[in-house]
Amino acid sequence: GIVLGIESSCDETAAALVTTDRRIVAQRIASQDESHAPYGGVVPEIAARAHAERLAPMIEAVMDEAGLSLAELDAIAATAGPGLIGGVMVGLVSAKALAMAGDVPLIAVNHLEGHALSPRLADPDLEFPYALLLVSGGHCQILRVEGVGHYRRLATTIDDALGEAFDKTAKILGLGFPGGPAVERLAHEGDPRAVPLPRPLVDSGEPHFSFAGLKSAVLRAKESGQHRDADLAASFQQAALDCVLDRLRVALDAMEPVPALVVAGGVAANQTIREALERFASERGMRFVAPPMALCTDNAAMIAWAGCERLGQSDPLDIAARPRWPLDPEAEPVRGAGY
Ligand code: ATP
Ligand code: MG
Ligand code: FE
């Protein structure tokens, strides 16, 4: 089977064709980093307009490249949430129109499920269940992935997401937007032990993440004028990593054992974090799986793949976009992020 995937939930516009045997047949992606950089973050109206301008030609390009007509698709999968509602609607409405025109099933995909299943696109040997660290711009969760549509959330953040903490640290250090890759680059030149920073909630017994206090500490350390920016970046990254490993220990001890530790989402592109997770997993006798970098940050291949995993499903053409859409509806809401 072959599925067209559409992604437009944040500031990446993307379309991709993926087969059920894990071939990415064609893909296009356009980032809007330059449009949002002057504002230091994603501006929803600018994002929605950019998606509306770019998406249709992009879909045409992947279909042309593959030499396919709409009717030859097995499904059209589009992100239906969570995310910035204007952008999500642009992608979802486009998918509905094409599904109707080609008489092809529509699959409304949870963007977080796209991230959660992306490691299975890259690795055919990754089977359910697995432990997932989902770290992106808007989310920071530890989940037990039990099957398609079956997620048990063990931890989430009570304030900022990990990617958000990277972005805020980048802002404090004047590194621009988006900040994650820039902080990582600068951290390579710094000493991770140079600046004393807190590890919020570590050893608290509480399962969740918190990064707001860490960010404030980075701000105070910067304002003190006593540290090199590279040392600040490296020390921040180390503190964040220590939090992640500690929270993972708590979550893995609390869940029924799984053979693999998997990381996904934009922050999974961070090489230092990937290497530390790989060591952590091997110490626990677990296999470690991380998708290639291009599948970590937002893309349409992961949405198409979620469609492949859900092939056979057909959502009604009046299905609504959802600005909030938890992967585990039974998880208790917490402060801050809410789910
Ligand atoms: P969500 O998936 O929660 O809706 P999003 O789609 O905006 O949020 P992603 O595209 O998955 O998020 O990830 C973007 C985030 O990943 C940004 O916060 C960015 O700073 C972070 N990021 C990207 N590369 C790196 C890196 N090398 N190191 C650390 N963080 C990174
Ligand atoms: Mg982005
Ligand atoms: Fe994302």
Residue 335 has pLDDT above 80, yes or no: no
Give yes or no for a contact between 28 and 69, defined as CB atoms under 8 angstroms apart.
no
Give the Å distance between the CA of 82 and the centre of ligand 3: 9
Q: Residue 247 to residues 75, 142, 156, 287: CA-CA distances in angstroms? A: 38, 8, 10, 18
Pick from 9, 10, 141, 339 the residue to mutate for probing ligand 1's pocket: most ligand atoms within 8 Å of its CB: 10
Nearest CA owner, ligand 1 atom 8: 137
Residue 85 has pLDDT above 60, yes or no: yes
Which is the closest atom of ligand 1 to the Cα of 162? 18
Q: How confident is the model at residue 337 (pLDDT cuts 50, 70, 90)?
A: low
Q: Say whether 167 counts as a known binding-site residue.
A: yes
Which is the closest atom of ligand 1 to the Cα of 271? 27
Residue 309 has pLDDT above 90, yes or no: yes
Nearest CA owner, ligand 1 atom 1: 138
**CA–CA distance, 58 with 293 (Å, rounded to integer):** 21
Residues 240-265, buried b or exposed e (16+ Cβ, 10 A)?
bbebbbbbbebbbeeeeebebbbbbb
User: How many CB atoms sit inside 10 A of residue 41's CB?
Assistant: 15
Ligand 1 within 6 A of CB of 137: yes
Give yes or no for a contact between 302 and 117, defined as CB atoms under 8 angstroms apart.
yes
Q: Say whether 136 counts as a known binding-site residue.
A: yes
Nearest CA owner, ligand 1 atom 15: 137
User: What digits encode the pLDDT tens for the residues 19-75?
Assistant: 999 999 999 999 998 899 888 889 999 999 999 999 999 999 999 999 999 999 999
Half-sphere exposure at residue 107, Cβ-oriented, CA atoms within 13 angstroms:
28
Which is the closest atom of ligand 1 to the Cα of 11? 7
User: What digits encode the pLDDT tens for the residues 173-231?
Assistant: 999 888 999 999 999 999 999 999 999 999 998 899 999 999 999 999 999 999 999 99
**Residue 187: what pLDDT?**
98
**Residue 332: what pLDDT?**
84
In terms of Cβ atoms closer than 10 Å to its own Cβ (0-12, 13-18, 19+), residue 209 is buried
Q: Say whether 138 counts as a known binding-site residue.
A: yes
Ligand 1 within 6 A of CB of 139: yes
Q: What percent of the chain has pLDDT over 70?
A: 99
Q: Say whether 227 counts as a known binding-site residue.
A: no
Mean confidence (pLDDT) of the chain: 96
Across the strands, what pairs with 218? Answer: none
Pair of tokens at residue 312: 């056979």
Terminal Cα-to-Cα distance of the chain (whole angstroms): 34
Q: Do β-strands 287-289 and 260-264 pair in parallel, antiparallel, or remain unpaired?
A: parallel
Across the strands, what pairs with 27? Answer: 16
Average pLDDT of span 285-304: 98
Give the Å distance between the CA of 227 and the centre of ligand 1: 26
Give yes or no for a contact between 13 and 50, defined as CB atoms under 8 angstroms apart.
yes
Residue 339 has pLDDT above 70, yes or no: no
| Contacts (Cβ under 8 Å, ≥6 apart) of 268 | 133, 135, 274, 290, 291, 296
**Residue 38: what pLDDT?**
87
**Residue 96: what pLDDT?**
98
Nearest CA owner, ligand 1 atom 3: 138
Average pLDDT of span 294-304: 98
Q: What is the pTM of this model?
A: 0.96
Pick from 164, 297, 302 the residue to mutate for probing ligand 1's pocket: most ligand atoms within 8 Å of its CB: 297
Pick from 267, 302, 322 the residue to mutate for probing ligand 1's pocket: most ligand atoms within 8 Å of its CB: 267
Q: How confident is the model at residue 152 (pLDDT cuts 50, 70, 90)?
A: very high
CA-closest candidate to residue 297, choices 144, 138, 160, 151: 138
**Residue 336: what pLDDT?**
59
Average pLDDT of span 91-105: 98
